[in-house]
Each structure stands twice: as structure tokens, then as C-alpha cells.
Amino acid sequence: MLELKNIKRHYKTGDFVQQALKGINLSFRKNEFVAILGPSGSGKTTLLNIIGGLDRYSSGDLIINGKSTKKFSNIEWDAYRNNCIGFIFQSYNLIGHISILQNVEMGMTLSGISASKRRKKALAVLEKVGLKNHAHKKPNQLSGGQMQRVAIARALANDPDIILADEPTGALDTKTSIQIMDLIKEIAKDKLVIMVTHNPDLAKTYANRIVEFKDGELISDSNPVENEKTTKKFSIKKTSMSFLTALKLSFNNIKTKKGRTIITSLASSIGIIGIALILALSNGFKIQIDKFEKDTLSQMPIIISPQVVISDEKTQSEIMDTLMSNENAYTDKKEIYPLISVQDLVHNNKISLDYTNYIEQIDSNLIGGIAYNRSTNMNLLYKNNDKISLISSLNIMSPLPEDLHGNWGDVINDNFELIYGHMSTEANELVLLVDTKNRVNSEILKLLGYNQEKAIPFDEILGKEFKVILNNELYTKYGDNFIMNMNYDQLYDNENNITLKITGIIRGKQGSKFAELSGSGFCYKEALMDLIMEKNSNSDIVKAQTDADYNVLTKAKFDLTTSEGIDAKNTILTYLGATSAPMVIQIYPKDFNSKDELTKVLDAYNDGKQESDKIIYTDYAETITSLSGNIMDAITVVLIAFSAISLIVSSIMIGIIMYISVLERTKEIGILRALGARKKDITRVFNAETFIIGLFSGLLGIGIALILCIPANAIIENLTQLPNVAQLNPVHAIVLISISLILTLIGGYIPAKLASKKNPVEALRTE
């Protein structure tokens, strides 16, 4: 029934040709147990792979029931492996992510046998090998001997004519090996069993025919076939894996990688979520944009900082044109032109006491609050359980906006509430700002000596004290420079100290965006900083530093001929409290309408001044308002374009994920091919996996978008009084899901084709 005529097989690597088989002539009977012996490299496994249709002979002919295989197509070889051959591998080659029963059914699944019939037959062969009770376990739940029994059951399930066993006991102990060999010998009573082994004792004990190989040649045959005629007509049923079967196989594989699948689907659904939300939200959002601006931006501060980006559109346009233009890279003109750089966008503000006085003369009806941020440090001492520590105020204390009369202004009254104690009214009184959950920065609690894992009653916080040590007490002259007094006990009790006390606890009001951005920490009144700087500005160290051309603390020399050296000296003087000029000023308009009047007053200061002496402010509210005219159109176009790009990126990502899946499942590909799966079946398996991921991504994206529409509608209704603005059209949802499917299938197409082209022999060797 099976005849090899002058079979040769060679492998070519570059210019080197290796002869694996050198003209093998060998015939086999319908049912016999043939053992093929020979050392490693003798060609035994190559012969087995050629008989099994996993490998192709280079020349000669393999004749099956009188029919030559020279002109076999790939589909015929696949059908031959599925119907005629049953493989028993040394390493079992079971698919790990499906059950024992499904492994045994796989060959029949590829044959197109109905689910009920293949289940019944699979259970029958599992019972035959003694594993029916283990049918629903996974391979990794079995012993080596049990897994080999499963491999035997799988080989028998499709009732093949030939069983090929490659070192079936090579990975088993002696006792288990005997059981497996007894089982294979029983099979050989009505089938042709061809076994490759290195063990001559095993061959002599169980086989009724021994064939020996050496260096790719047949050297002996204990029971050769003598001109046996074939009467059976050869015909094989072509394999057929349905897309539903491929879906089930892929779904089982996906279930073993739930985390990665969910993350992949979530990542690839981002574009769908974005486009769905944009389509749902774009309707009606423009209607209330003016009201939104006035309600939300009314108390955004006007900020005056040391450096500011020029907001003049003409200047920015000229600079950007210069930077971005590629025209006239070379010119023939005999002229020199100025090169405008990004640095020309930055203006340096000289914030002086004169400017501070100008601001304080502004009509108080225009200002809801003003805060001066200085880089002057308060030298703080804090006592905790008789341990005194020196603390920098720059990390834990900040001013809150006051009106021009030194009282808590509208900004504080509108955005914060007193929840315990009383608001500070004196210069030496502090309030503690907590967030919406009454939380305070852990470093601050650590400074106060509290266990950060326990709640702290308000009563314990109120009354806590800090001591502000003035320069003359903290710094002592030592030769030409000054050193710090490290005797904290003596400093703490000095009568010249300013004692700060916590008098109240405040928290942002519900819904206040300004309060949410304010963080937590100790807040002081401007009068405190005025008092400290008044005393420190006349201190000995400030006077010495003013006259010196070096740092009186470190003796580092200042190069006062350069702006960098002058700035370095001024930084030290500011830190020591020599000047009351602020580093940053934040001015909060009384309301949205008064902002325009306020900016006119600020602009008036620059009238008649040189460009370098002008003070340019940043009006974030105006910046946002100026963009709002066509903002929704721009956002819609940009976001849809961005989301569309993310869809393409997600398609590429799916391709990468599928390529990784191909690498991970290479051995599974080899197993499926050995069981008779066609190339297009392999492609179908991986296309099914991308189909599942694409469908899940689309459904997940639409689901998340629909969920996000609920809070979006609540927010929009709260802001605009327009209910149910965000509504996703069902047609849009179906289209977006279809797009997700198409893009993921496109992304997975190339990896799926690569999987189908893998050599089954090489794939089976993959670990």
C-alpha cells in the first residue's frame, strides 16, 4: 500500500548541499509494525516526514495504494496527512490552550466532521487509551505518559491507515514506555505503524520488521515486501476548516491571553472612542460657548512674571514665518537681512517697586484679589517634641490673593470656605489650606511630626507655632563673610523672633476650579512678608552683601561686569529680603466685564516707555477667548483627523501583536499542518483572531463612548442647560465598528499570510 521508489532528499545551504536520503527503495504492508533504526543523522526522521507528507522528497516517488504523489498539490498533501496519517511525536505536540478532548477532535474538525460525531469518536479513543475521565483537562495538567496517550488518541481519532511514531518513548520513564509500546503494538494489528527509534532492544521486542539506516542509506531490512499488489483504490477526502471553527480555535487561544487582548483592544479602540465622542458631542456645543467663557474665565488671573511670551500676533507671525519658511534658502542678492529667532518671542519684565506702587493705585472696584509671589525666604524654626528644625518657607507657605486694602478679597470669599477656627487677620496668623478630602501634603505633616497614616483632629492643628528668625539672629559675621547660627535652641527663644500661629483651616468650595488648582499648605497675609522684609532689609548681612562683590555666605566671586553676575548678586539679595519687589504678580479681575478695564490700566503703564522697560502681562482668559470663535470647528476637524490617525496606528499595532502571536504559536501552526490543515486554514485561524480583536475593539470603543456620553451630557447640561446633547447615531456606531473590523483585518493580514507559509517541519521543532 505504501512504496518509496529511489527517494532522495537533499538540503542546500548556500553552496553546501547535504544529502539526507540517498535513493531509498522501500515498501510497506497494509498492517505491520516497522521499526526504523539508525544513529542520529542517518535520515530516519527525514524519511518519516516524507512518508507523512510534512516534507517533500527532492527526487524519486512516493506511491500510495498504487498512486504516484509526484503531481500532488498542496491541498492533496494536506488531505493525505489528515485522512491517511496519524502522527505520534516524541514531544507530544499538543495544543496547550485547548482541552484534551479538543486536541483529539482537531483532526476530525479539519475533516469537516460534525461536532456530535467527532465528540463521540474522540471520547471513544480517549477511553481506549484510558483517559476518558481527563477529557476536559488541559495538557499541562497531565503527566508525560498521559500526554503521550493523548497524542496516540489524536493519531487514531480520524482512523488513518498509517501511524507514524517518532521516538514515542524518548521522553518517558521505563514503566510508562512499556505501557505506551504495548498500546502501539495493539494498534499495529490492523494498521501500518512505522516507528523511528534509537533503541534496538525496543525494536526487537515490539516490531515485527526492523529496517536499519546509516548515512541516508538503507543497509538492512529484516522482512522486505515481495511484490505485493495493491487492490484498494486510493481516494482521500479534502480537509475543510470553517471560519466558525477558526473562530472557536482563536477564541480559545485568546482566552489564555485575556489581559493582553483587553489591553490591545482598549488601545486600538481609542480612535473609535474619540471619533464617536466627537460625533456625539459636536451637536449643539457651540450654542453656549459665550456663556461658558464668561462663567468659567471670569476669575482667571492676569499674570505678570519675569519672562513672558510676546502675544502680539504680528510679531509672532513674522517670527514663525521666518522659522518655518523654506523658500529662498539661497539668494543671489548682495544684501544682509536680520534673522529673527525664538528668543525674540520672549520679553523680560523688570518688575520694580515703582510698578508695584502703580498697581496698588488701580481702582479697587476692578480687582477681586492680588497676590505677590516673592523668592524671599522666611527662616522658620519649628519645635516638635523638644526637637527644633530649620525649615524653608518656600516649599510650605504661599500667599493667597487679597484686595488692595489687605483684606481677603472676592477671590477667597467666592472660592474658599472656613471649615475650622478663624481666618487670619493679623500678620502673624496663618491658615492651613486643605484639598476637597481634607488632605495636606505629606511632607508638611511630616514637618509637624505627625504619623502620616493616622487622621489628625482639627484641634491638634490649631495653635501650632512657627518662629521666624530674622537675619541678624540667624547670620553671624565671621571674618569677611557670614555663617549661620546653628544653636536652634537659643534662636527659638530669641525675643526678636516673629511667632506665627495657625488660626484656621480653609478648603475650596465645591465646584471651584480655582480652588482645585491651589493645592494645600500654609497661607499667609501680605502683611507678614512686608514685616519680615522691613526688618531684614536693614540687617547686617544685607548691608554687607549690598557693598560686596562676592557672595557673603559662600565667598563666591560675582563678575559684576556681566549681567549674569549682577543677576546672581540680586538673587542673593532678594533671598535675604533686601528688596520687596515681587517676582510674580497675580491680579484677579472682579468679574469678566471688569477685566477689559483692568487690562486698559495695565497697558497705560507702558505708554511712552521703551520696549525694554515695558511690562507685558499674560491674560489667559483673553487668550482662550480669542481662540473660541471657531474653536469647535477646529477641534472637531483636528480630533477626527487625530482619531483617524490613531486608527491607522492601531492597525499597525494589531499587525505587530498578530506577528507576535504567530511567533508564539509557531509550534501550534506545525501541529495543525501535521494534522492536515491547509495554508488557507492557518490564514483563517489568524484572520479569525484579528476578527475577534477588531470586533471586540469596536464594541468596546462604542460602549465606552456611550458610557462617557452620560457624564458628558451631565456636564454640558450643567454648563449650558441643554439636555442630552451627546447622542450617538446607531448608524455611526455600526460604521465605526465596521471600520474597526476592516482596519484590524488589514493589520493582521500580513502576519496571517506569514503564518500560513511556515514550513511545518521547522514549525514543529520550535520550542
More confident residue, 405 or 556: 556
More confident residue, 294 or 465: 465
Find, among 556, 539, 535, 537, the residue nearest to 481 by Cα: 556
CB 747 within 8 A of CB 652: yes
| pLDDT of res. 639 | 63
- Binned at pLDDT 50, 70 and 90, residue 210 comes out as very high
The CA distance from 655 to 653, in Å, is 5
CB 254 within 8 A of CB 685: no
pTM comes to: 0.49
The CA distance from 374 to 578, in Å, is 12
Structure confidence by residue, pLDDT tens digits, 744-753: 787 777 877 7
3-state secondary structure of 402: strand
Average pLDDT over residues 359-385: 86
Give the per-residue SS3 of 339-385: CCCHHHHEEECCCCHHHHHHHHCCCHHHEEEEEEECCCCCEEEEEEC
Structure confidence by residue, pLDDT tens digits, 72-94: 888 888 888 888 888 888 788 88
Structure confidence by residue, pLDDT tens digits, 630-642: 555 666 666 677 6
Average pLDDT over residues 561-589: 86
In angstroms, the first-to-last Cα distance of the chain is: 35
* % pLDDT > 70, the chain: 87
More confident residue, 312 or 346: 346
How many residues make up the chain in this entry?
767
- Taking 80 as the threshold, does the pLDDT of residue 142 lie above it? yes
Average pLDDT over residues 469-481: 90
| Strand 618-619 with 302-304, pairing | antiparallel
The grid coordinates listed for 313 are 500676533
3-state secondary structure of 42: coil
- Taking 60 as the threshold, does the pLDDT of residue 297 lie above it? no
Element (H, E) at 20: strand 16-28
More confident residue, 257 or 484: 484
More confident residue, 629 or 484: 484
* % pLDDT > 90, the chain: 8
The CA distance from 421 to 488, in Å, is 30
CB 595 within 8 A of CB 621: yes
The grid coordinates listed for 691 are 476578527
| pLDDT of res. 230 | 56
Average pLDDT over residues 177-194: 85
| pLDDT of res. 149 | 85
Lowest average pLDDT, out of 284-293, 439-448, 472-481, 714-723, goes to 284-293
| pLDDT of res. 452 | 66
Buried b (16+ CB within 10 A) or exposed e, 58-92: bebebbbbebebeebeeeebbbbbbbbbbbbbbbb
- Taking 50 as the threshold, does the pLDDT of residue 287 lie above it? no
More confident residue, 454 or 220: 220
| pLDDT of res. 653 | 75
DSSP symbol at 538:
T
Give Rg (Cα) of the chain. 42
| pLDDT of res. 177 | 82
The CA distance from 577 to 400, in Å, is 20
More confident residue, 221 or 448: 221
Structure confidence by residue, pLDDT tens digits, 490-543: 999 899 999 999 999 999 888 776 677 677 889 998 889 889 988 998 899 999
Lowest average pLDDT, out of 475-479, 504-508, 649-653, goes to 649-653
| Phi then psi dihedrals of residue 65, to 5 deg | 50, 45
- Taking 60 as the threshold, does the pLDDT of residue 323 lie above it? no
- Taking 60 as the threshold, does the pLDDT of residue 488 lie above it? yes
| pLDDT of res. 711 | 86
Average pLDDT over residues 724-739: 81
Q: Tell me how far CA of residue 71 lies from CA of 1, 48, 55, 56, 68, in angstroms.
A: 18, 20, 15, 12, 7
The grid coordinates listed for 738 are 465596521
- Taking 70 as the threshold, does the pLDDT of residue 291 lie above it? no
- Taking 90 as the threshold, does the pLDDT of residue 255 lie above it? no
Element (H, E) at 211: strand 209-214
CB 519 within 8 A of CB 397: no
Strand partners for 467: 381, 499
> Exposed/middle/buried for 315, CB within 10 Å: 0-12, 13-18, 19+?
middle
- Taking 90 as the threshold, does the pLDDT of residue 443 lie above it? no
Q: Where are the beta strands (DSSP E) in 54-184?
A: 59-64, 67-68, 85-88, 162-166
pLDDT, averaged across the chain? 81
Which residue ranges form the domains of the chain, and what is each CATH number? Answer: 2-238 (3.40.50.300), 246-292+630-764 (no CATH), 375-522 (no CATH)
The CA distance from 620 to 624, in Å, is 6
